[in-house]
Amino acid sequence: MNNEIAEKIKGMLVERLRIPEDELEYDSELFGEDIGLDSIDSIEIIVGIENLFGVDISGAGATREDFRSIETLAAFVEAHKED
């Protein structure tokens, strides 16, 4: 996992979704019991990642597992970001 990417994703989640930073760990389940995000929140995450990193989420074949945590999102972005 790229820590720089993970920190940017964490900052985006704090800013866009108003999640308290101290509640977010890299391995927190975003859509599970840990954070409890919903489908509307997933749209915010998609737009945020596309804007921050230039990654076309749908075109890159993202799966539900890619959205499990900040760690999995960071790995997905690292594998698909524009250089």
Please write the tens of the pLDDT for every residue from 31-66. 988 999 999 999 999 999 999 999 999 888 899 999
**Predicted confidence band of residue 2 (pLDDT cuts 50, 70, 90):** confident
CB atoms within 10 A of CB 42: 16
**Predicted confidence band of residue 83 (pLDDT cuts 50, 70, 90):** low
Architecture of the domain spanning 3-80: Orthogonal Bundle (1.10)
Q: What spatial distance separates the first Cα and last Cα of the chain, rounded to whole Å? A: 17
The contacts of residue 70 (CB under 8 Å, 6+ apart) are: 6, 9, 10, 13, 24, 25, 26, 27, 28, 30
